[in-house]
Amino acid sequence: MQDIWRLPATEVAALIRQKKISAKEAATAGLSRLDAVNPRINAVVDHRPDDALRQAAAIDAAIGRGDDVGPLAGVPVTVKVNVDQEGYATTNGLKAQRDAIAPANNPVVDNLLKAGAVILGRTNCPAFSYRWFTTNLIHGDTKNPHDPSITPGGSSGGAGAAVAAGIGHIAHGTDIAGSIRYPAYACGVHGLRPTLGRIAAYNPGLPERSIGPQLGAVSGPLARTIGDLRMALAAMSARDPRDPWWVPAPLEGPKREKRAALCLNPDGLEIASEVKAALVDAGKRLERAGWIVEQVATTPPLQEAAEHQTKLWLGDNYEAQLAAAEREGDPGALVCLRGNRAKVFPFDAAAFSHALTRRATLARQWLEFLEKYAVVVMPVSGELPFPDGLDRKDEASFARVWRAQLPQVAIPFLGLPGLTVSTGLVGRVPVGVQVVSGRYREDLCLLAGEAIEAGGTAPSPVDPAS
């Protein structure tokens, strides 16, 4: 079979279970695609072909015995380099962690393997996973396969670029302020940030994270079809006792009326005309699929939520983070921390208490809003994907980037799931929309996402542009 790497993960898994192709053939196709395109985009920064083929051989042997190999059944995937995979360095884009060899797997890696996935390789991220751009001093720059002059997104930029270019059918990413949703947006694929506690997480080889990042960071999937995201979420969200935040919430909640709020300017966000056009088009696609779509002037507060999320993420333990960035010497990480200093430091007990108090109030307002609407459709960003490295250009550009990313940064503070749905291209620059729903209602995000996807053309693998 030609070009297995082009197929959706759902189709690959079915073909392998039916013995129409082998897991080894799927892995070999994925590795060949990696060899062909990765030198141009630098999405995968650590991979061992023999390891991937060994995993695939074990899947084929299990199928031969008649064993249940799990829903992913030999599907090639990638894993971000900031989570532990036994025997590999969890660099998180840092020279300082080049020897941080994981003694055991992060739960999300274990869950992927238990579901039958074959891990092709590990994908790049910016130093400390801080930015919406992907470059560092240990692995180098990741390029957007659609256009190397624009960012591939971050911090899961390697994940977005890999799955967009056909390296793996599903990519694992992490998201604390947009790090799944923005690379999906920038690379023209779909990406799901689940609710905190949906997917178990823990890095056994690294120190425990401080409470701010614990409250905001999650793992989730990026893929070229919504169906693949649905399958990946089910696999990734299996129970693991090592994560005290994990919640045994059902993947499918009670049925809701298909009613969506469409908000073009949430909390006064200014948006580019191309972003507005994508949102209006997404609303029409939902209507054609039988959804009731109501355009609303604004949403409950996002700006304040984004400010508190930034403080919890960067302000909690700020001085230690800055000292580590200075030792690393990464220009992007330093720009991120120094550019936000006035907004997040000092972050004392009173500031922390205030943030958590307001978290309850703002989350309540959003949950009440979502009693009326199953989903809210809003921008991922106020702009099309940025020119690569824009945040380092000057102070005005740094402020511009952070202002545009308001809808991404706010959602983690509110404890809500968010889905990026790619809707097409503007020239060769991707564009899309964000779908938000209530806690543990990823199913509603995916339901709306499927309707939006079906109304257009689903993303397909691209050959890296020059």
Partners of 435 in beta bridges:
377, 419
- Reported residue count of the chain is 466
Strands, DSSP E only, in 324-408?
Answer: 375-378
What is the β-pairing status of strands 44-46 and 118-123?
antiparallel
Pairing of strands 375-378, 259-262: parallel
- Give dist(CA 444, CA 254) in Å, integer: 10
Residue tagged active-site, from 155, 237, 422, 437: 155
Beta strands in 340-449 (DSSP E): 375-378, 418-426, 429-436
* Catalytic site includes residue 155: yes
SS3 43: coil
Q: Show the tokens assigned to 230.
A: 């649905």
CA distances from 174 to 15, 127, 273, 379, 416 (A): 29, 14, 29, 20, 15
Distance, in Å, from the CA atom of 57 to the CA atom of 38, rounded to the nearest integer, reads 24
Decide if 179 is catalytic: yes
Catalytic residue among 22, 156, 179, 422: 179
Name the β-bridge partners of 121: 78
* Strands across the sheet containing 292-295: 44-46, 118-123, 76-80, 170-175, 218-223, 190-193, 418-426, 429-436, 375-378, 259-262, 292-295
Catalytic (active site) residue 460: no
Catalytic residues: 80, 155, 179
